[in-house]
Amino acid sequence: MRRQVKISEIIIPKYLPIFNDKMIRHIILTSGRAGTKSSFAAIRADYQIVSDPHGSVVVLRKHHNKLRKTVYKEMLRGISRLGIPKQKFAITKSPMEITYKKTGSTIYFSGSDGIDDTKGIIDEDKPIKLVILDELTEFFDDGEGEDELQNIEATFIRGNASGFQMIYLYNPPKNPNAPIVKWCKKMEKRPDCVHIHTDYRDVPKAWLGKDLIESAEMMRELDEKQYRWVWGGESIGVDELIYYMFSDRNKARPTQKKYSLIGIGVDYGQQNATTYQAFGLDIYHKQLEGMMEYYHSGRDSGKQHSPSEYAKAFIQMTDRLHEMYSCNAFYVFIDPSAKGLSEEIKRASAGRTYGISLKDAENTVALGIARVQKCLTYGILSVSPEQENLVDEFGLYEYDKDALDRGKEQPVKMNDHCMDALRYLVMGLWNKLKYFLPVGEREE
């Protein structure tokens, strides 16, 4: 027989006062990493359909394709935390729904653009009593922000005499001028709104584990400002210099005589610069080590190169790296717009005794910058003195100050060719690099 679980045993003390308070219309939960807001929302949603035979739940993210691996998965964990056998629920993936068989109350999952599909499924006898909006920043970055949230409320509040609630979840952005920060401050003035902020220090240590706590403390030692944002959830402000954490400790020559894998990030331009940034992956010592670069600017030199000339320079570089480091595997992450150069490299590499794997670079700027910052902060990324242009750009690559004042983080499109190449490389090798980082930094 299962032991009855007490709510106080599975949610942190800060959340206890709001768990059964149905008088609050809007609940804003913000946190740093591991603040357990998602866990609370899942338990609250599962409890809703179990305890109320006339109230269902809708869980929304801006993008439908991110639901299954995030909030849907969290809701299933919530059932286990409540100690209720899963066989008491009808759980489906297509459509994503969790129904408590005894009451027929359901948790529906939808992307914001697909709300109309969800509305058509809902039984009028079981109105939506709870709306959970996960990763709220996406509604401001990719959607219509406050207007969209008001439309969502108007959509689902119909049919409710009382007890309707909305829970908003997000990690505060760095920028205190971001629209979502201004929205939150506005909401805090409402009598029907509660805002609760947590961080990992509000959570029992036994729930977090030793590795996660060590990850947080390590970042505090290495970069206290970044720690206050990542783990504390503070809107600390954004430095104009994007890689402010780059320092002499990130400068070093390659340490190994042999590398089993060398990664090369490629940014291509016609008049703008074309650059190849090569790094050796040292899995044993958990390092990504800078080796050499190729850099040519048609505008600066007054001489344009054709794709075939750039491909020849690329092969000369890989030949040299192969000879110096006995490497037979090159992973190349190339600017997606450089299809012509990619084809020329394929032709030029024919007959080589080593392999060159060409892949389109993933060009998600904000995520790529965040990952490079992590690699620099934790010292797993070093740059060779031979990469002179890369080193120079670290000191010049900045956010647009006017955009920062408007709450947007947009890099200035100058001094960024080497930065783009490095970002392509880190994104491309991330499934290997993330295991060089502390457990709490792996985005898993």
Could you tell me the fold of the domain covering 248-438? Nucleotidyltransferase; domain 5 (3.30.420)
pLDDT, tens digit, 9 for 90 and up, residues 285-301: 999 999 999 999 977 77
Predicted pLDDT of residue 116? 63
pLDDT band at 54 (very low <50, low <70, confident <90, very high): confident
C-alpha atoms less than 13 angstroms from C-alpha of 113 in its C-beta half-sphere: 9
CA distance 177 to 237: 8
Task: Using the predicted structure, report yes or no on whether residue 310 has a pLDDT greater than 90.
Answer: yes
pLDDT band at 51 (very low <50, low <70, confident <90, very high): very high
Q: Are strands 96-100 and 106-111 parallel, antiparallel or unpaired?
A: antiparallel
Domain 14-210 has CATH 3.30.420.280: no
417 vs 443: which has the higher pLDDT:
417
Give the three-class secondary structure for 190: coil
pLDDT band at 63 (very low <50, low <70, confident <90, very high): confident
Segment 352-363 mean pLDDT: 95
Cβ(321)–Cβ(327) below 8 Å: yes
- In sequence order, which residues have a C-beta less than 8 Å from that of residue 301 and are 6 or more positions away? none
DSSP 363: -
DSSP characters for 51-83?
A: H-TT-EEEEEESSGGGSIIIIIHHHHHHHHHTT
Q: What's the sign of the alpha-carbon dihedral 116, 41, 70, 173?
A: positive
pLDDT band at 122 (very low <50, low <70, confident <90, very high): low
pLDDT, tens digit, 9 for 90 and up, residues 135-191: 999 999 888 999 999 999 998 887 776 789 999 999 999 999 999 999 999 999 999
pLDDT band at 261 (very low <50, low <70, confident <90, very high): very high
Task: Using the predicted structure, report yes or no on whether residue 302 has a pLDDT greater than 90.
Answer: no
Q: At what angle do helices 179-188 and 146-157 cross, to 10 degrees?
A: 50
Cβ(315)–Cβ(335) below 8 Å: no
DSSP 426: H
Predicted pLDDT of residue 120? 59
pLDDT band at 316 (very low <50, low <70, confident <90, very high): very high
**Any alpha helices (H) in 27-164, and if so which ranges?**
37-51, 73-81, 115-121, 137-141, 146-157
**Any alpha helices (H) in 189-255, and if so which ranges?**
205-208, 210-222, 224-230
Domain boundaries, the chain: 14-210, 248-438
**pLDDT > 70: percent of the chain:** 96
Predicted pLDDT of residue 114? 61
Give the three-class secondary structure for 244: coil
- Amino acid residing at 6: K
Distance between alpha carbon 108 and the CA centroid of its chain, in Å? Answer: 24
pLDDT band at 242 (very low <50, low <70, confident <90, very high): very high
The chain-wide mean pLDDT, for the chain, equals: 92
Segment 221-238 mean pLDDT: 93
